Amino acid sequence: MNTLTNFQPIAFGPPERRLFGIYHLSQAQAADHRPAVILCNAFGQEAIRAQRFQRALAERLARAGHPVLRFDYFGTGDSMGDDAEGDLDGWCQDLHTAHQELRRLAATSRIVWVGMRLGGSVALRAARTAPTDLARLILWDPVLDGSRYLAHLRDRHIASLENVYSLPLNPAPRDLADDPSCYRDEAIGFALSPRLRSQLMALGTESHSWPTTPSDIIVITDPDTPDGMDLEFICARNPGRAQVLVVQHGTNWTTDTAANTSLVPTAAMMMIAQQTGDAQ
């Protein structure tokens, strides 16, 4: 255990699917009364650009008395597997594995999942078979329209090839942008397997349904964004199932200007920390 920051790197999960995580030990006397927290990361470049946010949030929650586990899904970060092996169902399995590990480490009876972007979608999917000690879901801008999300990743991928990298490409990416068969297997440097692409395409506002557990779902979003409008549409069909909180943080995690900056939206962090502390 690191005595200065009270965190430790851990490896867990079955031998064929070992996962890497960082466990943040609670630093407050209120630990027995605070739920433990799992941070469900985003995908690809969004995950990279959220690393500083995830660490800062984990440390803030740990100081408030919450044991916290942040981890890499199979095929991502420092966990086993190639990024082409990643898929939503496998990542749901990883989240359940992380849940069991945090329950063991923290000896707790209540756990909160906090998911950002595609990590929120993974949390929603995994909650359909959630353990009974899942106390709350907190979702920040979850991906609800998979086809639009894929189109956005493709647009950013093409823009990155055009504007960021120095090697001239022939044909130019912009000349292939209208060909739907091009740029399907990569998203700004990360593999998109056919299975993952198919799973994302199946995500849509018309087909969306909330999991039956937990009873407590908090969604943090900006209603002026396409994702926020998706959420408004979904909640109108099933009012009261999820509590929607508005945070206009102004961060676009896939812009080129965000690539080399440390982005920690304060308003979003304070909202997530408050909602985690309020979990019953």
pLDDT beyond 80 at 122: yes
| Rounded distance between C-alpha atoms, residue 133 and residue 107, angstroms | 12
Express each pLDDT in 149-184 by its tens digit.
Answer: 999 999 988 888 877 656 667 677 777 778 888 888
Asked if 152 and 227 count as a contact pair (C-beta separation under 8 A), the reply is no
pLDDT in tens, 128-139: 999 999 999 999
Domain region containing 113: 7-144+204-277
**What is the predicted pLDDT for the residue at 3?**
44
Residue 148 exposure: Cα atoms within 13 Å on the Cβ side: 11
Residue burial 227-262, b: 16+ Cβ < 10 Å; e: rest = bbbbbeebbeeeeeebebbebebebebbeeebeeee
Whichever domain contains 33, its CATH number is: 3.40.50.1820
Mean pLDDT of all residues in 210-217: 92
Q: List, for residues 73-106, the tens digit of each pLDDT value.
A: 999 999 999 999 999 999 999 999 999 999 999 9
Of 9-13, 175-179, 212-216, 266-270, the one with minimum mean pLDDT is: 175-179
Asked whether residue 94 is assigned to any structural domain, the reply reads yes
For residue 182, is it within any domain?
A: no
Share of the chain above pLDDT 70, in %: 88
Distance CA 86, CA 74 (A): 6
What is the count of structural domains for the chain? 1
C-alpha to C-alpha distance for 144 and 120, rounded to whole angstroms? 9
Q: Could you tell me the pLDDT band of residue 6, with boundaries at 50, 70 and 90? A: confident
Instruction: Look at residue 2 and tell me if it is in a domain.
Output: no
Q: Is 185 among the domain residues? A: no
CA dihedral 178, 183, 185, 189 (to 10 degrees): -150
Does residue 42 lie in a domain region?
yes
Q: Is residue 74 part of a domain?
A: yes
Distance CA 231, CA 211 (A): 15
Classify residue 263: in a domain, yes or no.
yes
* Residue 251 reports pLDDT greater than 90: no
d(CA 6, CA 246): 32
By CB atoms closer than 10 A (0-12, 13-18, 19+), residue 170 is: exposed
222 in any annotated domain: yes
DSSP-based three-state secondary structure for 37: strand
Highest-confidence range of 29-38, 95-104, 227-236, by mean pLDDT? 95-104
- 105, β-bridge pairs: none
Residue 257: predicted pLDDT: 52
Q: Are 154 and 44 in contact (CB under 8 A)?
A: no
**Tokens read off for 227:** 């994702």
